[in-house]
Amino acid sequence: MQRLECSVFGCGEANRDTSLHLLPKDHTTREKWLQFIWNDHVPENIPTKTRVCSKHFEDSCFLKLAQNGRVWPRGSS
């Protein structure tokens, strides 16, 4: 089985208790995630397995995620 871990630089979280989230399809939200992960050095080819763990989100984000799928990591709004 493939090992999953967070793509955010310096994190590498792979705890089973932490949920990992694939990039959102919504363009605006996706851009915010990409900027958060790579800090304005977004690679030309985004790895398909890019994931962000729940540590980077406020709990309230998950409420929004359930409502409209548009959440972004803390500090990047």
Residues that bind Zn ion (CB under 5 A): 6, 8, 11, 13, 53, 55
Are the CB atoms for 20 and 52 separated by under 8 Å?
yes
Buried b / exposed e over 12-43, threshold 16 CB at 10 Å, is: ebeeeeeebbebbeeeebeebbbebbeeeeee
Instruction: Give me the least distance between CB of 67 and Zn ion, in Å please.
Output: 23
Instruction: Give me the least distance between CB of 68 and Zn ion, in Å please.
Output: 23
Are the CB atoms for 53 and 21 separated by under 8 Å?
yes
Considering beta carbons, is residue 30 or 55 the nearer one to Zn ion?
Answer: 55
Instruction: Give me the least distance between CB of 60 and Zn ion, in Å please.
Output: 18
Considering beta carbons, is residue 34 or 53 the nearer one to Zn ion?
Answer: 53
